[in-house]
Amino acid sequence: MNPIFLSWGIALAATAGVILRPFRWPEAVWAVIGALMLVALGLLPVRLAWQAVGKGTDVYLFLIGMMLLSELGRREGLFDWVAVHAVNLAKGAPRKLFFLVYLVGIVVTTFLSNDAAAVVLTPAVFAAARKAQMKPLPLLYVCAFIANAASFVLPISNPANLVLYANHTPELGLWVARFTLPSVLSIVVTFVMLRWMQRANLRGVCARDLPVELLSANGKLTLASIGVTATALLVVSAFDLQLGLPTAILGILTALVVLIKERQSPLGLINQISWSVLPLVAGLFVLVEVLNRTGVIHELAALLEQATRQNASIAAALSGLVIAFGSNAINNLPAGLIASATVLQSHVPERVIDALLIGVDLGPNLSITGSLATILWLSAIRREGEEVSFGQFFRIGVVVMVPALVLALASRLIVGR
C-alpha cells in the first residue's frame, strides 16, 4: 500500500477513535495508538515524532497549571463557596441562574482562556446546580458553549489564537477593533439559542437563601492565585510570549503552598487530576505532523493562495466555514495547527486568517469532540457522574453554532472591507 495513503488512513482512524470512543476507551488512547502505529510502521521517523510532541510543550504546561488550580479549588471549597453565592443571587429563578453562569463564563473564557472555562468553571457550575437542586446539564452546557463562543474576545481567550497567528499576533488594540463585533454576535447568539434549547429545563423554581460559609484561608489563596494567573496571562500576552510556563509556575507554586500549610503529600492531589488529556494532545500533534510530512499542508496552502487571488472575500468566508466544520471531524487543536502551517506557507490577507481563527474557535460548538476545551469539559462532567453522548450534544450544537458562526464571519468580513 502507498505509504502516504496508509499514513492518512491511520491518522483518520485515530481521529475517528477520538470522536467515537469505541469500546468506551478514553480519547487519549486512540490518539496515542495512532501516533505509535505511525512510528512503528516507519511512516514517521522517531525524531520527527518527538519534535511534534515537543511542539505541544506550551499547551501541556498551560493545562498542568489550570488543572492544578481547578483541583485545588475543588478541594478547598472554593467552588462550593462560589456556587452558594450564585444560587443566592438567582433568588430561586433557574433562568436567572443560567444567565449568571453565562456571564461568569464570558469573564473566565475572556481572561483565563476557554480551557480554563472547561477545567475551572465546570466544577463550580456543577456545585451550583447541586446547591440549587436543579438538573445540572442545562447549566453545564453553558460551560461548554461559552468556552468556544467567547474564545476570540482576546488573544489569550484561546491558546489556539496564538498558534494560528504564530509570530504575528495583532496588537491588542488592533485585535479588539477586528474581533469585538464578531465576538459580541457570537456570545449573544449563542446565549439566545442555548437558552431557547434549554427553556423546558429552566422552568419552575430552584433553591434559594442558602447559608454562606466562610471561605477557608487556602480557598482564598486559590482564588487569589486564579486572579493573579489571569493578570499574568494578560501581561505575558501583551509581550507576545507563550502562556504555558507562567500558568504552570503559578499552579505549582499555589499547590506547594497549600500542601505545605496542610502538611499533606502531593500524591492525593496528583491522583485526582485527569492527566490523560496530555497524551491526547501529544498524539494529536503527531497526527498533524504526518499531514505536513506527506504534503497535505503544502497542497492546502497552494489551494488557499489560488482562491484568495480569485476573490479574497469568498476565500475567507469559505475558509472559515470549512475549518469550522472540519474542526469537528479532527478536533480544533490539529485543525488550528494545520491552518497555522497552511497560512505560513501561503500569502493571504489578514481577513482570511481572521476567518480561519473564527472557524477554529467557534466551529467546535457543533460536536462534543470539536475542541480540546469541550473534551476537558466532558472529562470534568464524567468525574461528577454525568455523561453526554455525541448525538445529545450535536442536536444542541447544530442549532447553537451555525447561526453564531455565520453572523460572526459575516460581521468580520464586512468590517474588514
Average pLDDT over residues 166-179: 75
Supply the pLDDT for residue 199: 93
Supply the pLDDT for residue 164: 75
Q: How deeply is 267 buried, as exposed, middle or buried, from its count of CB atoms within 10 A (0-12, 13-18, 19+)?
A: exposed
Supply the pLDDT for residue 361: 94
Average pLDDT over residues 92-105: 93
Supply the pLDDT for residue 56: 84
pLDDT tens, 31-89? 999 999 999 998 899 999 999 899 888 889 988 998 898 889 888 888 888 888 888 99
Quote the CA–CA distance of 152 and 175 in Å, as a whole number. 9
Supply the pLDDT for residue 169: 63
pLDDT tens, 321-379? 999 998 887 778 778 878 888 887 877 888 898 999 999 999 999 998 888 889 889 98
Supply the pLDDT for residue 366: 95
pLDDT tens, 285-299? 898 888 778 877 878
Quote the CA–CA distance of 57 and 242 in Å, as a whole number. 10
Supply the pLDDT for residue 166: 58
Supply the pLDDT for residue 36: 94
Q: How many domains does the chain have?
A: 1
Supply the pLDDT for residue 82: 85
pLDDT tens, 112-157? 888 888 888 898 899 889 889 999 999 999 999 999 999 999 888 8
pLDDT tens, 237-284? 777 777 889 999 999 999 999 999 988 888 888 888 888 889 988 998
pLDDT tens, 197-228? 999 999 989 988 888 888 889 999 999 998 99
Average pLDDT over residues 386-394: 90
- pLDDT above 70: residue 1: no
Q: Which domain holds residue 50?
A: 3-415
Under a CB-based contact definition with an 8 Å cutoff, are residues 118 and 147 in contact?
Answer: yes
- pLDDT above 60: residue 417: no
